[in-house]
Amino acid sequence: MSETEIMIGGKVRLVVRPPYLKTAEPMPMLRPSDILELGDEGVVVERSPAGYWAVRFKRGAFLIESQYLEPVESHQELL
């Protein structure tokens, strides 16, 4: 992971596909990992226990460990 930290409301990119995906719902379900592609970007919705982040992608919201994510730098940060 880069020096930039993952933050709530920040954009992240999927860099490694986990073995399965857990939906970020009140009653979570396990889904196959091929729902998301490597490089898909989403917005961090909340921090969950045990190193998980709730991330909203185009195909849904999932609980994903930080080891599978990297922060996406915005153009404003580079200026």
Answer whether 14's CB lies under 8 Å from 39's CB: yes
What's the pTM value of the predicted model, to 2 decimals?
A: 0.84
Which tens digits make up the pLDDT trace of 20-75? Answer: 999 999 999 999 999 999 999 999 999 988 889 999 999 999 999 999 999 998 65
Measured distance CA(75)–CA(67) in Å, rounded = 24
Q: Is 33 helix (H, G, I), strand (E, B) or coil?
A: helix
Structure confidence at residue 1 (pLDDT): 42
Structural domains of the chain sorted by starting position, each given as residue range(s) with its CATH number in brackets: 11-69 (2.30.30)
Structure confidence at residue 69 (pLDDT): 96
Single-letter amino acid code for the residue at 22: K
